[in-house]
C-alpha cells in the first residue's frame, strides 16, 4: 500500500516565480494536511482539506499562498511570487477520516528560493 506521495522532492525557484507542490494521499484517505518546516524547527500547520473543500486554513499566510484538493487528482499547494523566506520543507499528511487523529506524512518537498 503506497504511502503519501509528494512531488517534486526538490524545487528551486527564483524570486517572483510560482511554486506548485503536489501531494497524493494514501489510498483510502480523503483528508489532506499541509505543514511547513523551517531548518531545525518543528512543523507548522498550514491548511487542512477534504475533497473539494478547505476545512481549516488558519495557518496559511494571507497572501500568495493557496491550496486545493480537487475531486480528481492530487492536492496542490501553490505559492505565487515566491520570496526567499518561503524557502522551507513542505510536508503533506493524510488521514482516513476526521475521527482518526493519526496523520501519515509524505517525504516532503524542499523549496529553495534564490
41 makes contact with other proteins (CB under 8 A) = yes
Q: Which of 11, 25, 75, 108 binds other proteins (CB under 8 A)?
A: 108
Q: Is 102 in the site for other proteins (CB under 8 A)?
A: yes
| 49 binding other proteins? (CB under 8 A) | no
Count the site residues for other proteins by CB under 8 A.
Answer: 28
Parallel, antiparallel or unpaired: strands 109-113 and 10-13: parallel
Among 27, 52, 56, 61, which residue interacts with other proteins (rule: CB under 8 A)?
Answer: 56
Interface with other proteins includes 101 (CB under 8 A)? yes
Distance separating alpha carbons of residues 56 and 43, to the nearest angstrom: 16
Residue at grid coordinates 499541509: 34
Please report whether residue 45 would count as binding other proteins according to CB under 8 A.
yes
For residues 87 and 107, give the distance between their C-alpha atoms in angstroms, rounded to a whole number: 16
Residue 22 CA to residue 11 CA, distance in Å, equals 11
> How many helices (DSSP H) and strands (DSSP E) are in the chain?
0, 11
Q: Which stretch binds other proteins (CB under 8 A): 12-20, 52-60, 65-73, 78-86?
A: 52-60
With binding defined as CB under 8 A, does residue 57 bind other proteins?
no
Amino acid at each position: 500500500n503506497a504511502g503519501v506521495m509528494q512531488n517534486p522532492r526538490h524545487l528551486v525557484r527564483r524570486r517572483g516565480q510560482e511554486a506548485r507542490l503536489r501531494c497524493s494521499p494514501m489510498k483510502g484517505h480523503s483528508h489532506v494536511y499541509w505543514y511547513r518546516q523551517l531548518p531545525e524547527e518543528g512543523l507548522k500547520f498550514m491548511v487542512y482539506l477534504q475533497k473539494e473543500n478547505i476545512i481549516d486554513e488558519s495557518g496559511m499566510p494571507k497572501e500568495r499562498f493557496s491550496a486545493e484538493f480537487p475531486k480528481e487528482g492530487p492536492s496542490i499547494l501553490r505559492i505565487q511570487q515566491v520570496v526567499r523566506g518561503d524557502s522551507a520543507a513542505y510536508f503533506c499528511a493524510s488521514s482516513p477520516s476526521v475521527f482518526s487523529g493519526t496523520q501519515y506524512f509524505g517525504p516532503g518537498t524542499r523549496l529553495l528560493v534564490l
